[in-house]
Chain A
């Protein structure tokens, strides 16, 4: 089943002399359960692609179908709702709320969902458990290491069991060991829970944890192929 399908996707910023083409006719699709890495140097359009795919930005040309439906048919509120219960985001800069505990941070998407409040704690605890941070429940972000922060962000991303998790350079701010743990977490979610993951990275090493790599250059797809020797991050886990 295709979760995401884009045809000739275009994104142009600005007008006149300031006109920049960030995405220049991108076509591909992503099926449920895939772990796709989108690679490319900076300025290649990979972040723009993630923003468009995650409804955080609008494309200016081509077509985008999410779960078989053209996204133009959704209202802004529909898109917010889809972001809430079909998508999860993990950012390079973690984006956790400061002075807010791990538990409350992970609960954040629930505030905007239809899930009854009585189930919130159980869901949050389950998500935190799946990234192995149950012992950090009442810590605030400032008391956590970078790797732990990113795992909190992952827990937040998967709390509503989304169809797709978008990870934008999730290891970019981490040392290699923490990065390994984050990648291992993502791999496990993909393999054990069947979450579809779209990972943005500029490192070949990180990208090889995925099952498929799409390489972008100047807003165009250069290659789109399966990973031959997939890296497993399990060996680093305690």
Chain B
């Protein structure tokens, strides 16, 4: 039989049972829509996260204590005290690392701020004024502490919006004094609401000179991070190399296996996060794929009903010369057409929905969310929906093809 007529026959077959066809295909539509949504939103979320990381600046290199962890559970080496003041001094020497523009040591911890009868549990960030540049932080009242304050171990703090609101309400915080570990700190600046940046919520953070934090709050001599800014993006590799050499010299390390520090660039973090979001997206798609299997079983069910219902038609077609193959193809095509149409509708719905969601996320929620049309999910979706029709249509179609024409014609 000519394909065109097989197609026409299949379409006619589906149209005579319009509402049933629509209901049957719903499972496929939902499955493909879900896959499209997940793929599009997953990619969008990934881009958003990557954007935020890039927000720290692509010239930034971070030195962490301990060797590079070898796996998710290999954390023992991460908490060492290997980064010390002499490392900072060595890195600041132009002869060691000429491409380094700035180095900022960071220590952090959590403690309670007390103001009168109010208390607030906050994160303390021991840093230098350079932090405002790296994380793009501003003060809306007062000003940032200075490098002088760092040198003199000044008891000054810049606080995030939540801390200010909790402790001071609507009154002015700048110039007020709070107590941390029974030591009095003067608030020199407050930051406007900023929300999550990279891994930190700066609204809950108090920034204090790292020297003060080490000495009076944490009581440690080491740094938890050294954040380094290279003089240009092109020099990142050179900087990483110089930092490695300098620190190894400083720590008397000859065997790279025994490194007690490791270095992360923005690129490293981005690629590691991409793996996480990719795995998450794949997992969600796998879950959505289950709905396709359920949908496929629905298709098989209905096709079986349809084959039984149209037994006489099958008998007639065989009587006028249809071969088993002709009948097989007719019913297979019907089921592929059904799921293929479902897939196409799902792709359209999924794309439209994720576009609408991205509009809401960027315009209403205010994220810098970008709509991504998941081309690969579209192609996979079309292919998979067709395959579902083929696989789940095969059994009913074979049932139809094998009917004896005589018995089919006698069927009541």
Chain A contacts to B: CB under 8 angstroms: 51, 54, 56-57, 76-77, 80-81, 83-85, 89, 91, 93, 95, 97-100, 108-109, 111-113, 117, 156
CB distance from A100 to the nearest CB of B (A): 7
If A81-B321, A95-B312 are given as contacts, then 14 extra A-B residue pairs at C-beta distance below 8 Å, sorted by A number, are: A54-B319, A56-B318, A56-B406, A56-B409, A57-B404, A80-B321, A95-B319, A97-B313, A98-B16, A108-B316, A111-B2, A111-B9, A112-B326, A117-B2
Q: Is the CB of B323 within 8 A of A76?
A: yes
Q: Which of B5, B316, B325 contacts A95 (CB 8 A)?
A: B316
- Residue B279, interface by CB 8 Å: no
The residues of A that contact B317 with a CB separation of less than 8 Å are 108, 112
Identify the 9 closest CB pairs spanning chains A and B, nearest first.
A84-B321, A112-B321, A56-B406, A109-B320, A57-B406, A80-B323, A51-B406, A56-B405, A95-B316
Q: Are A112 and B16 in contact (CB under 8 A)?
A: no
**CB-CB contacts of B318-333 with A at 8 A, as 1s and 0s?**
1111111110000000
CA distance A97 to B330 in the complex (A): 15
Asked whether, in the complex, the Cβ of B321 is within 8 Å of the Cβ of A85, the reply is yes
Chain B, Cβ-Cβ closest to A48: B406
The residue on B at minimum CB distance from A54 is B319
Interface centre among A54, A91, A95, A98 (most CB of B within 10 A): A95
Shortest B243–chain A CB gap in Å is: 77
Instruction: Let me know if B12 is at the binding interface, CB within 8 A.
Output: yes
Chain B residues in 8 Å Cβ range of A109: 320-321
Q: Separation in Å of the A200 CB from the closest CB of chain B?
A: 13
- The smallest beta-carbon distance between B317 and chain A, in angstroms, is 7
Specify which chain A residues have a CB less than 8 angstroms from the CB of B320 in the assembled complex.
83-84, 89, 108-109, 112, 156
B316 touches A97 (CB 8 A): yes
Q: Does any Cβ of A come within 8 Å of B276's Cβ?
A: no
19 A-B residue contacts at CB 8 Å?
A: A54-B319, A56-B318, A56-B404, A56-B406, A56-B409, A57-B405, A77-B323, A80-B318, A83-B319, A83-B320, A89-B319, A95-B312, A95-B319, A97-B313, A109-B321, A111-B1, A111-B5, A111-B322, A112-B1
Q: How far is the CA of A184 from the CA of B262 in the complex (A)?
A: 100
* With contact pairs A95-B312, A98-B16 given, residues A83 and B321 touching in the complex (Cβ less than 8 Å): yes
Which A-chain residue is minimally distant from B330 (CB atoms)?
A111
Measured between beta carbons, the chain B residues less than 8 angstroms from A99 are 12, 16
Which residues from chain B contact A111 at a C-beta distance below 8 Å? 1-2, 5, 9, 322
For residue B19, give the distance in angstroms from its CB to the closest CB of chain A.
15
Bound-complex Cα distance A95 to B320 (A): 11
Q: Does A91 lie within 8 Å of B409, measured CB to CB?
A: yes
Task: Determine the distance from Cα of A83 to Cα of B312 in the docked complex, in whole angstroms.
Answer: 17
B316, B325, B326 interface centre (most CB from chain A within 10 Å): B316
Q: In the complex the two chains form, what is the Cα distance from A174 to B16 in whole Å? A: 27
Q: How far is the CA of A83 from the CA of B322 in the complex (A)?
A: 9
Bound complex: CA A106 to CA B92 (Å): 93
Q: Compute how far the CA of A57 lies from the CA of B319 in the bound complex, rounded to whole angstroms.
A: 11
Are B313 and A112 interface neighbours, CB within 8 A? no
Taking each of A56, A85, A98, which has the highest tally of chain B beta carbons within 10 Å of its own beta carbon?
A56
CB distance from A124 to the nearest CB of B (A): 13
Which residue in A56, A95, A97, A112 is a CB contact (below 8 Å) of B322? A112
Residue of B nearest to A95 (CB): B316
Q: Which residues of B contact A100 (CB under 8 A)?
A: 12
Considering the complex, give the chain B residue whose CB is closest to the CB of A94.
B316
Tell me which residues across on chain A come within 8 A of B409, comparing CB atoms. 56, 91, 95
- Docked complex Cα distance between A8 and B276 (Å): 78
B 1-37 to A, binary, CB cutoff 8 A, 1 in contact else 0: 1100100010010001000000000000000000000
**How far apart are the CA atoms of A98 and B404 in the complex, in Å?**
21
Once bound together, how far apart are the Cα atoms of A91 and B411, in whole Å? 13
Closest Cβ–Cβ distance, residue B182 to chain A (whole Å) = 89
Query: Which residue in chain B gives the minimum CB-CB distance to A120?
Result: B5
Contacts of A89 in B (CB 8 A): 319-320
**C-alpha gap A108/B317 in the complex (Å):** 8
Mark out the residues of chain B between 372 and 410 whose CB falls within 8 Å of any chain A CB in the assembled complex.
404-406, 409
Residues of A within 8 A of B312 (CB): 93, 95
Residue numbers in B under 8 Å from A93 (CB-CB): 312
Question: Which B residues are in CB contact (< 8 Å) with A113?
Answer: 321
Residues of A within 8 A of B9 (CB): 111
Residues of A within 8 A of B404 (CB): 56-57
Q: Determine the distance from Cα of A56 to Cα of B405 in the docked complex, in whole angstroms.
A: 6
- A76 neighbours in B (Cβ, 8 Å): 323-324
Chain A residue numbers with a CB within 8 Å of B406 are: 51, 56-57
CB distance from A184 to the nearest CB of B (A): 24
How far is the CB of A7 from the nearest CB of chain B, in Å? 22
B312's nearest neighbour on chain A, judged by CB, is: A95
